Structure 1
Amino acid sequence: MLDRLGDRWTVLVLVELSKGTRRFRELERAIPGISQRMLTLTTKRLCRDGLVERTVYPTIPPQTDYRLTPMGKSLADMVFALADWSRDHKDAVAAARSRWDREHA
């Protein structure tokens, strides 16, 4: 799981899917800088880990939807909580770093 959280694309896909079900191309357009290959790898890993559900519809061309599973929603909530914590403690972390730099210069 730490591999997933440490991966930049995983977090961005989780954030986008927390807004609701998305098709592959919608995800690709919503996540700046992600290549088709990286999105494919990321969604496959998230599906394998049970965080995302993939539904393929038998249309021509095939349509594929992605949505968070309950476990994926739970992880997305934790990601948002971590982001909130980071924003709330940004000044304290900056002050601690400044003190550290002065003391260890």
Structure 2
Amino acid sequence: GLRYWSLAAFIKRQSTLAERYIERYVLAAIGAAASRGLDGIICGHIHRPALETRNGIVYANDGDWVESLTAITEDAHGQLALVRWDGRAETLARVQAAPLLAAA
């Protein structure tokens, strides 16, 4: 009856060095997207789920299925969502992606 809980995820969150590394990774990813004129970037190497907009750039990290049980989804209208599944669906965050084509 208890919800899923990951010891590895707990320990990782407690490490300030890991937190600083992750923040540098996020800033570098956002900077790379901005320097290329992109609207956002989707990452997945570090197992830290996130979906946010910083300085006009969407940063998405899908986390993983082992520790955080998360994924990034996109609906038919271009809305991105960070979702978690541990026996039931839970939406953790949403952002509207930039449209590909302007209305004619």
Q: TM-score range by the shorter chain?
A: under 0.3
Task: Name the one with the larger helix percent.
Answer: 1
Q: TM-score, normalised by structure 1?
A: 0.25
Task: Name the one with the larger strand percent.
Answer: 2
